[in-house]
Amino acid sequence: MTPQPAAPIKGKILVIDDNPIIQRAVYFQFRDQGYKVLMSGDITGALVLVRQETPDVILLDINFPNEYSTTSEPRDGFWATKWLQKMDEAKNIPWVPWRSSPNRSTRKNSWPPSKKQWPTKKPSRHRVPV
């Protein structure tokens, strides 16, 4: 029997989330649909991946716990969006912000202004935002 060639990759998705359960759920959902899925559990590592891999889209968790901050400035999704906008490698990469539930930081920095417009982390095999 001749081995079948691997199906072509549809694209690369970078998932930036501190929750390993969410990472796995999103990984399997997109992998099963033919995407190469890159994972990062921290913001700084994710920015390195953007430079190395140049993903086609970035799914970005806005709410990162304070323990992920290494300086006086919190390194959350809002911090990451500022860097993504400055990086030449990321200027043309669309990113989708998401959160599990609004917290004080999210409400204070909220964009878009209505929390109803925020995508939530409820992966579905039948509705994929890519």
Average pLDDT of span 39-46: 88
% of the chain exceeding 90 in pLDDT: 31
**Dihedral angle of Cα 30, 51, 65, 96, to the nearest 10 degrees:** -50
| Contact indicator for 18, 61 with CB cutoff of 8 Å | yes
How many helices (H) and strands (E) the chain has is answered by 4, 4
What pLDDT, in 10s, does the model give residues 72-124?
A: 777 777 878 888 888 898 888 998 888 765 554 544 554 444 444 445 555 55
The rounded distance, in Å, linking the Cα atoms of 35 and 8 is: 9
Domain ranges of the chain: 12-114
- The helix (run of H) or strand (run of E) holding residue 38 is strand 36-40
Overall pTM surpassing 0.75 (yes/no) = no
Query: What is 12-114's CATH number?
Result: 3.40.50.2300
| Contact indicator for 76, 68 with CB cutoff of 8 Å | yes
SS3 36: strand
Mean pLDDT for the chain overall: 76
